[in-house]
Structure 1
Amino acid sequence: MFWIERSTRAELTRVLDARLVEAAQMVASLVSKNQITLNRDDRDQITLPASADYDYQQFCQIWSFSSGLVGRSTGAPRKRLVPADATGFRTITRDGKALRVYTIVEPDLGGQVTVGDSQEIRDQLVRDVIAGFLWPALVILPVIWGLIWLSITTGLAPLARFARDLEARRTDDLGALPEAKQRPREIRPLAGALDDLLARLARARERERDFIAYAAHEMKTPLAGLKTQAHIAGRAQDQATRARALEAISTSVDRTDRMVHQLLDLAQVDSRETRSTPLELQALLRQVLGDLTEVADRRTISLALEPPARSQTLSSDPFLLTLALRNLIENAIQASPTGSDVQVKISDTETHVLIDIRDSGPGLPPAIARQAQEKFVKGNNVDPSGSGLGLAIATDAITAASGDIRFERQADGHHTIVTLSRTQYREGHQQTAQDA
């Protein structure tokens, strides 16, 4: 309505001002042609010809440069409205009324013609136009509001029913949503996305249930062994029997401790957000090998790191990469026969870095290799203290770090090859990345 008022006022001003210009020019023309008749009863009042298109709502004054007011229309004031030398448009106030006037000077006639009208009439015209728009709007807007409310309510009704159906589902019901033929096509993509989400949640819960069942089963074995050996140690009559029972207890505790740590590592891998930072791969591997020295010494396994031709800097998550490499190298140590060696070699291509872990063990059978990502899957001829979680942890960690693991049996032994995407650094930028 504000815009209508402004635009209407501007348009009316333009039109009425144009009429004032035409009226002033018409009066000047009549003066020049001597077609104005002076009223003898009132010498300064003029009467326009019947043929003149002149609205009574307007007024005019004719001033002579030498003798003052020589003529005025009915209702026009006697006083001068504008200065003698003024021309053009002006908005003035006389006797408490606002007037819009236009003045032209006719040098040939030696006079000045002023034509004007009331600003109140102009304002009334604007108010009439606004009222003409406002009353229909006041009637139509409630109708429009009702139609909008009805259409929105009707349109959202299927979505409301859909929400009620979801609220009514049990928390353990992760099945697909029931098909509804009357379901609008606008919410079909939403229903499809929810079906996909529910399916993924069902698979995740199934994996969690399997994981909990497998973990509980694996924990029962060492705990049952601990209880049995504790009874044996408590009732043993000779020192040798007691020593064997205590050694078995120590072995069970070690196995349980390793399993607990691996379960915690697995939980961290599943819940951790990847945080990639520049790291120097050779230094990371030296740290991992140093941490596993005690494990290797117990089996008389020698660990060796073949240094790369050049320093390898890549962008990865140091926690996930360290966790994966530690589990893979520890698996290689456990799989290797006593007195053998485990060798780690680093190589690279233009886009990837390869970590080759070679051991002298029998390697993974093809059936086990295909199930390497599954938890609690053990290979043959492995350390009985293993839990079957090492490869699963390593696979999940490497996958989260955008890498890949493959197993190969070659002439010189079994190879576990880790492939990582790398970020190329120029030689001059390597130190900067390491400092960062």
Structure 2
Amino acid sequence: MRRRLVISYLLLMVLVLLALETPLAATLATRETDRVRADRLADATRFASLANPALRGRGPGPLDVELDAYEGLYGIGAAVVDRDGRTVVTSPNWERGPAAASAVDIALAGQQFSGPESVWPWMNGPVVVAVPINDGGEVLGAVVTTTPAGKVRRTVAAWWLLLAAIGLLAVLACVSTAFGLAGWVLRPVTELDAVTHEIAEGDRTARVRPRLGPPELRRLAASFNNMADAVSDVMDRQRAFVAHASHQLRNPLTALRLRVEELGPSLTDADGRAEHRLALEETDRLATLLEALLTLARAERTENQRVIIDAAEVAAARVAAWQPLARHRSVTLRLEPADAPAYARTVPTAVDQTLDALIDNAVKFSGDGEVVTVTVRVADGGTVLQVRDTGPGMTASQLNQATERFWRAPDVQNVDGAGLGLTIVAVLVDASDGRLTMRQSTPRGLVAEVWFPAPEPLDVEPATTEAATTEPGLAEAGRA
């Protein structure tokens, strides 16, 4: 945008210079030509006053000497012709070219002639002046001079070069001023663009300095800061509400579950025990949902914090932690580790919670005898964690909705879960500048793949993780 503004200013400046300097250049060329023409007319008029004896046949008299001296001193050829156009007296090197012949014809008709009107640097012809010689109203002949235009062309060219130099200096000054002016005008826009990207990347404390640029842009910066403050405040209130509500509901929910459990021994009929079991399951489902909401609130609050994790070590710990549940559901859970440590730079607990959610989904939705494979590898300048299962998988439309909050596929509504697991994964991966991709496996099943960026070579040693002590189930599945 700055370049376009500078080009606009420069184009305007060039147009102004052309509008001013073009007529000035033409005026200078005409003025210099008029000065030469005036001098030659005066000289020709003087020679005409001396030419009467020569035209009346009494010899050239002093005119011959005058023309010789004139050409020797100024390099200007001159000649005197009679009324029939015959040359009477000439300077030594005078040549009668087409321009001189035309000028003589005009002068013999009784009119003065001088041409051209202006001498341009690219012209080659001489400056021709012709004056009639009169005696009592009778035209006896004419005096014609031919002045080489080289000196006039050089003078005009020098003036034009001076104008061009002045114009170039004006253009350079315009460019310098335009860059400064464009920078001053666009500095708030540039900073607004940078702050917008910072906020989009998760830094909600970034703000625009409101004292930059013209008043209109300063007001825009102030309005943007107010909007950012309002949005940040709303987000903080929303997350605080979710966290506080989830936390505060856990205590009465726990008390409610204990009271429902205490009712169990007093129930003797089969129907009562079935209702009692369903009530306990509903309280467990609500507890899972509250725990998932807390996890999501904590994940979305994580800003600008990065730790370095050995993803291969975390994956081994998480696979070991989920083995009991996998065996209980008759699912084979296996790990294909990387050949060397696979370091990833993420927000805290991102790798742990991501693997928990993906493994929980894969184990939960795979039937008896199915296989869930966790793979860790280094690729594309980062670390890739892949969880592949041989379960029913998802359709293309379901894959597009899988990370939406509380979304669950219609055919698995009776399976335990809160519909927040993949939402939490998406939030953590995005906060870590990573990528989450899910696709159908061949011949069946689902492949969930997460890429985390690798740390810089000079970064510190990997931070310790809580993978070995985190129990499965903190992040529930949001998959179909």
What's the TM-score once normalised by structure 2's chain length? 0.43
